[in-house]
Amino acid sequence: MSANVLFTILIGFAGGLSVGAGFVAFLTVLGIIPRLMQLTKTVKYIQGYEWGVISGAVCGGWLSLHGNVLYLPSFAAVIVGFTSGIFIGMLAAALTEVLNVLPILAKRIGIAERMIILLMAIVLGKVFGSLFHWIYFVDQ
């Protein structure tokens, strides 16, 4: 395998781990689903919440891996954009929560003295990933 393929695999795996950690933190650490059920008094619809989370994650992952284009009317695009924005905002909050977990994890696995390297890798990965997305995909 060439170095480019290995580098692409490494970047994809690292991105998947970051998003997966944020999603798990979103669901467990923040307890967003139980809070939503308490606020809306819809505990009896717990299976609907479970299926919604699972199907949303599977469909979102599948759509992001394929180059499918959805031709939606304007009002539907607004709804999809609005709900996507809510999800991204909540995911950003969950990633912030994950950063609070990192010092504990670093202590337990013995890399506490390299914590700054771990944080800088996360920050620089986010910056370079965003720049790559905006520079590469905007020019096309």
Reported confidence tier of residue 97, pLDDT bands at 50, 70, 90? low
Question: Would you say residue 126 has pLDDT above 60?
Answer: yes
* Distance separating alpha carbons of residues 25 and 95, to the nearest angstrom: 7
- pLDDT at position 94 is 63
- Greatest pairwise CA separation for the chain in angstroms: 55
User: By C-alpha distance, which of 128, 121, 97, 116 is closest to 32?
Assistant: 97
- List the domain boundaries for the chain: 3-138
pTM (2 d.p.): 0.45
